[in-house]
A and B are shown apart, each in its own frame.
Chain A
Amino acid sequence: MDTLILVIIGLVAGPVIGGLVAGLDRRVTAWFQSRQGPPIMQAFYDVAKLLGKEKMVVNQWQILCAWVYLIAAAVSVALFFAQGDLLVIFFVQAVGAVFLVMGAMSAKSPYSQVGAQRELMQILAYEPVLILVFVGIYLVTGSFSISSVWELEQPLLAKMPLLYLALGYALTIKLRKSPFDFSTSHHGHQELVKGVLTEYSGPYLALVEIAHWYETVLVLGLCALFWSTNVFWMAALLIGTYALEILVDNTMARMTWRWMLKRVWLLGMGMSVVNLIWLYAG
């Protein structure tokens, strides 16, 4: 019963928090750039406006894929709140990621196609890192279930500092922030064409946007696990991490997928492996 309540809380709170984070993100970014910036609720207004637009698609698969992306993202957040198995949560999240790519590939548009290929490169970069982070959690707690993290006396961060940094890489990619945002930005010098998102429009783009909010909550939830023992420190960790993401986003130029693959596989995996060796030896 408790699980069910938690699931419902997750399903409802997910997009609310995700949308607020998106709004705050834009405010802080504007502040960085000495602009006024939109109201915090802007993300919700945007989605509401998109939902009211005329439905237009290139083909039916996009409708299917947008919906599945949203549903999988919501289910993965629900599982997270239900204290499920980290690997399962991750694979359910991957359902959404795969469908987003497939939907983009179904449209015969160069931007959408290129964006889809780049999104796949992003998945290729972050997936092994995430799995290794979960392995680290398993080594500390003896289980892949989130419920076992809450029983810890000491925050995960103390045992897995390097894995947290590696998770930061994965987080940046997953949130599609600079320098790893190439799958959703492609066109000489403007942002009107959005790579993998190019052909999603109107209400379907709104679905993709809401799904992205769920994903934001999921990755922030993962970060939160690293300081599970104290709510205030957890909040501080989350705020600090996200602030750093925004800073990186605004100070880094977009890079190529080759740069990303090398960086993340060498540095991200390298840090993960070093940290894992401590845990195995310890």
Chain B
Amino acid sequence: MSNLLFLLILLPAVAAAVCYFVRSSAVRTLTVLATGAVLTAASLALLGQETSVPLTVGSVLGIPSDFLIAVLDFALLGVIFMYGVKHKSLLIQGFTLAQAVLLAWFELFMVKSAEVPAFAGDQISVIMVLVVSIIGSLICIFAIPYMKEHEEHLHLKKSRQPQFFFFMLLFLGAMNGLVLANNILWLYFFFEVTTLCSFMLIGHDRTEIAIKNSVRALWMNSLGGLAFVVGMMLVYSKVGTLDISAILAGGPQGALMVTGVGFLCLAGFTKAAQVPFQSWLLGAMVAPTPVSALLHSSTMVKAGVYVVLRFAPAFEGTLLSDGVAVCGAFTFLACAALCIGQSNGKKILAYSTVSNLGLIICCAGLNTPLAITAAVLLILFHAISKSLLFLCVGAIEQAIGSRDIEDMRGLYAKFPRTATITIIGILTMLLPPFGVLMGKWMALEAAAANIYVIIMLAMGSALTMVYWARWGGLLMATREAEAPREKQAGLISLPLMTLCLGAVVLSLASPWVYNSMLAPMFNAPPFAVSFGSLDAATGSFAVVPLFLALGLGAIYAVKAASGFRKVKIVAPYVSGSNVGEDGTYIGPMNGPVPFAAGNMYLGEIFAEGRLTPIFNALAVALIVLMLGGAL
């Protein structure tokens, strides 16, 4: 297992260095492809391993590894502090300085040196490693042709791709380290590495807005880092160990420790961009699309929900647990509402990501086996579908020069392949029998016993339906018989097709995914699997029968639709005489008038500018309640 960990954590870092120092695009392409292949293989190999055996990393080149991590921690804080100085951000400087002081105090005076295994894994970590390694690699592969075109568009004199791929790959290694860490100080180190990577990637284009947004991301995540250090110190002062599995095994132990865990959750909230921290993730949209895809699906924000989920056993049955559930449900609702008002494709994806993360955190807070199962399945399926959708928007943006969904009207006519994949991606986010909806179903059933949470989830669920359905619908259009075929670069097509297939096939396989990976986590697993159906006392989801019924139906429908050329194609009704092409009618002065229709964005109800301050204030109140409740 130690070799696998080496591959999963250190190989990306080494590959990142290769990308950075060897400035040849051929070498870079090859490195990214090879790293992707090895990471995929290594993460799959991890499936067959006994991961729960803790692994101690003795020393590296004669230096004790714990000491090395401590040194790297301070180096990292130093780098972040320097960026704080460079961008004149007092917030970053303050938060980083406070972290450094507290961390020094913690390491010098509080921690009694005792060997703690650095790494250990469980089912959740393994699923996370698969998400990070496979989806992350696919995004990096997509980035190869994407960044080439991106830079051509920017007319750069000197390519900045070496830095770009350096941070992309480093990110993957750091994430793998984060999810496998068993020593809380190691977890903190990797947590901070992801903060730095995201900062560098968001600011990659170095435009004024990119820098502004990257600085905001950095100060918010530094706040998260500070919360992490405080949480770590509080937990240690009660439990007296850095060993995460030992911390979790003891369950909640008194107010001080639970408050500490509350601070760790707060750190998770900042990283997962929960309201009121959503603005950094929205701002991150200025980065090149592969960055957004990575941040939203397999790395940054998933690190946030992972931390909350990881520590869930430590606050089970406390008031903090209810607090986390309510905060998550509130984010789910608030961001779904904010999403309704958006027409920018990337913003829709961003708000829906935050909304879904809220649902995952809500599940962690509900803290029953059913809810935890829902959370893990949501992480998995959301990562696949959301990365797919981001990559689709990236491809569409480079094709039509806009990311506004109104500009994507009738995309199918010109780009049938991309449009179809996007529609499938949207459906996998929204409808049964696909995985994300199944996770939502489990979340609803798990939340039914909590009135505050279920009301917010019921409302949020309806809002979700609206913004996805209207986007999916407007992509559809008529395609001319003699229209040329859509060309798609191989390295664009491969990730898109893989993710699209993955979203569908893995949904179908979800009963077995549940059986082999999730059920062993619990003493009393929430579901029994029979005939491809997940059955519990509270309800059942017949995955395979539904796939058969709806899938065969859909295939029949596609077949019926593909015979449309035998059907008479008519112009749409426009309450007058149609002229010429689609959607034009004879208007005043006997001239042709084209008509235009837009989506309803319900600006009077769901205006972003008006709602955001209200939601932020409410969320701050909820977080204060959550932390206060822990005491």
Contact = CB atoms under 8 A, between A and B. Distances in A.
B583 A85 contact: no
Interface string B43-66: 000000000000000000000000
A219 interface: no
Contacts of B572: 58, 107-109, 112, 198-199
B253 interface: no
B546 interface: yes
A171 interface: no
B568 A120 contact: no
19 contacts: A60-B561, A67-B557, A67-B560, A68-B557, A71-B556, A72-B550, A88-B441, A91-B432, A92-B432, A98-B472, A102-B476, A109-B573, A114-B597, A117-B599, A121-B466, A128-B455, A128-B458, A128-B461, A138-B448
A242 interface: no
Q: What is the predominant secondary structure among interface residues of chain B facing chain A?
A: helix
A155 interface: no
Interface string B527-567: 00000000001111110001001100110111011101011
A91 B567 contact: no
Contacts of B592: none
B448 A108 contact: no
A143 B538 contact: yes
Contacts of B550: 71-72, 75, 92, 95
B524 interface: no
Report which residue of A63, A91, A276 has the largest number of chain B beta carbons within 10 angstroms of its beta carbon: A91
Contacts of B455: 128, 132, 269, 273, 276
B504 interface: no
B451 A276 contact: yes
Nearest to A144: B539
A277 B452 CA distance: 10
A63 B560 contact: yes
B249 to A, nearest CB: 32
Contacts of A113: 597
B319 interface: no
A220 interface: no
A104 B476 CA distance: 10
B537 A105 contact: no
A98 B469 contact: yes
A59 interface: yes
Nearest to A55: B567
Interface residues of A, number: 70
A135 B470 CA distance: 27
Interface in A116-149: 116-117, 120-121, 123-125, 127-128, 131-132, 135, 138-139, 142-145
Contact of A58 (B432, B469, B540, B570): B570
Contacts of B229: none
Scoring B451, B457, B568, B583 by chain A CB atoms within 10 A of each residue's CB, the highest score goes to B451
B466 A120 contact: yes
Interface residues of B, number: 66
Contact of B432 (A86, A95, A104): A95
Given A67-B561, A98-B472, A110 B595 contact: yes
Nearest to B537: A143
Contacts of A145: 538-540
A263 interface: no
Contacts of B583: 108-109
B111 interface: no
B466 A123 contact: yes
A11 B467 CA distance: 31
B570 A71 contact: no
Interface string A53-77: 0111111110111011001100100
A124 B537 contact: no
A91 B466 contact: no
B410 A108 contact: yes
Contact of A198 (B451, B459, B549, B573): B573
Given A60-B479, A101-B470, 11 more contacts: A55-B566, A59-B477, A60-B561, A64-B561, A71-B557, A106-B477, A109-B573, A112-B572, A121-B466, A123-B469, A198-B572
Interface in A35-69: 54-61, 63-65, 67-68
Interface string B437-466: 100010011001001001101110111011
B571 A58 contact: yes
B454 A132 contact: yes
Given A84-B542, A91-B431, A114-B597, A128 B462 contact: yes
A237 interface: no
